[in-house]
Amino acid sequence: MSRAEGKVALVTGAASGIGKACAERLARDGFLVIGCDLRSDLSGIVSLDVRYEVEWQSVIAGIDRRYGRLDVLVNSAGVSLEGDTIEHCTPETWSTTFETNLTGPFLGMKHAIPLMRKRGEGVILNIGSILANVAGGEAAAYSASKGALSQLTKSVALDLARKSPGIRCNAILPGYAATPLLERWPATTHIQRTPLGRLCRPEEVASLVVYLCGNDAAAVTGSAFPVDGGYTAQ
């Protein structure tokens, strides 16, 4: 029997890229995975627009009714939109970026924690970005939203450490990874900027997710881990 047997994980943004890789890896490791996405046209994907509280309430209530537990929440849904420089970023681009990348994880944690608290255990992983730590001139709203997500992660971790020490909260900060989100830029630019000389693979982010979900990481909370091919060491 795997150590994850019977455990339930919810992954947002599970239709593509890093969220998809995390959902597949957690399922392979024995978790019962509820993969959610805006794109609910795909089989096995549960419809959830992370920007809306009522949708979160409905998905979490469904998990509570059906399984009575939630062990892992991976907030991976995110957007990086065109025209995200300070002079071109429209209020709509700004709002959509913040609502998806920051309000989404906020709502997810707000509604997942009470269900995790039923068993006194849980793991929350927020997929941030290296652009939380180093800025991207071509990603104004995106960098700001990911910077805020890192701080939100620490604040939640500290609150949980006092009130529910069995629930941990960490951020993973991917570098440039080969997913559809990156397709609007030429890959060569990102490869040249990355010391390992290649893009990261979504599966490499998923490997860290699995480690942070396990008991080997029981003392790890309030931290942010780059998976970036050395990018932020520069």
For binding to ligand NAD (CB under 6 A), which residues are involved? 12-13, 15-19, 37-39, 48-51, 76-79, 100, 127, 129, 174, 176-177, 179-182
What one-character DSSP code corresponds to residue 201? P
Q: Which two tokens stand for residue 199?
A: 């893009």
For the bound state, the minimum distance from the C-beta of residue 124 to ligand NAD, rounded and expressed in Å, comes to 14
Using CA atoms, how far residue 99 sits from 32, 79, 201, in Å, is 28, 10, 26
User: Rounded distance, CA 195 to CA 199, Å?
Assistant: 10
Q: Is 142 a catalytic residue?
A: yes
For the bound state, the minimum distance from the C-beta of residue 6 to ligand NAD, rounded and expressed in Å, comes to 26
Q: How far apart are the first and last CA of the chain?
A: 43
Confirm if 117 and 167 have CB atoms less than 8 A apart: yes
Q: With respect to ligand NAD, which residue has the nearer C-beta, 55 or 64? A: 55
Q: With respect to ligand NAD, which residue has the nearer C-beta, 18 or 115? A: 18
Return the closest-CA partner of residue 75 out of 99, 29, 113, 106: 106
Count of positions (residues) in the chain: 234
Q: Which two tokens stand for residue 67?
A: 């399984």
Q: With respect to ligand NAD, which residue has the nearer C-beta, 122 or 226? A: 226
For the bound state, the minimum distance from the C-beta of residue 18 to ligand NAD, rounded and expressed in Å, comes to 4
Return the closest-CA partner of residue 131 out of 196, 80, 91: 80
For the bound state, the minimum distance from the C-beta of residue 118 to ligand NAD, rounded and expressed in Å, comes to 25
Query: Of residues 52, 67, 142, 231, which has the active-site annotation?
Result: 142
Sheet holding 72-75, edge to edge: 45-47, 32-37, 8-12, 72-75, 122-127, 167-174, 224-227
Q: With respect to ligand NAD, which residue has the nearer C-beta, 115 or 181? A: 181
- Return the H-helix or E-strand segment holding 114: helix 104-117
- Return the H-helix or E-strand segment holding 58: helix 53-67
For the bound state, the minimum distance from the C-beta of residue 217 to ligand NAD, rounded and expressed in Å, comes to 20
Q: With respect to ligand NAD, which residue has the nearer C-beta, 129 or 153? A: 129
What residues act catalytically? 142
